[in-house]
């Protein structure tokens, strides 16, 4: 989940990376979403930051968090979680 604030918008710079990884691993294993933290109370702790935050969930539980746009770390985290 790309957690973003309305004034900043979702992180568009990693869309190509995420598409590439999804194509490599298959769409059944990996799903991406965006969430505006300003309108979701459960994501309140991510408000007020100007860096993108990527939340990784498995089985309904938060399993990893990557802060900032670090393509290498994002790819590593995705592959590790799969």
Condensed to tens digits (0 to 9), the pLDDT of residues 49-76 reads 778 889 999 988 999 999 988 889 998 9
Condensed to tens digits (0 to 9), the pLDDT of residues 22-57 reads 888 877 878 888 888 888 999 888 888 778 889 999
pTM: 0.80
The ranges assigned to domains in the chain are 2-81
Tokens 């598409």: give the residue: 19
Report the chain's C-alpha Rg in angstroms.
12
Whether the per-residue pLDDT at 18 is higher than 90: the answer is no
Please enumerate in sequence order all residues whose Cβ is within 8 A of that of 48, keeping only pairs 6 or more positions apart, or say none: 5
CA distances (Å), origin 37, targets 22, 24, 40, 41, 44: 24, 29, 5, 7, 6
Q: In terms of CATH, what superfamily is 2-81?
A: Glutaredoxin (3.40.30.10)
């Amino acid at each position: 989940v790309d957690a973003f604030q309305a004034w900043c918008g979702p992180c568009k710079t990693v869309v190509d990376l995420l598409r590439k990884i999804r194509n490599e691993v298959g769409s059944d294993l990996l799903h991406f979403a965006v969430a505006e933290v300003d309108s979701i109370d459960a994501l309140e702790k991510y408000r007020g930051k100007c860096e993108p935050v990527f939340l990784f969930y498995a089985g309904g539980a938060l399993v990893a968090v990557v802060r900032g746009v670090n393509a290498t770390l994002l790819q590593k985290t995705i592959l590790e979680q799969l």
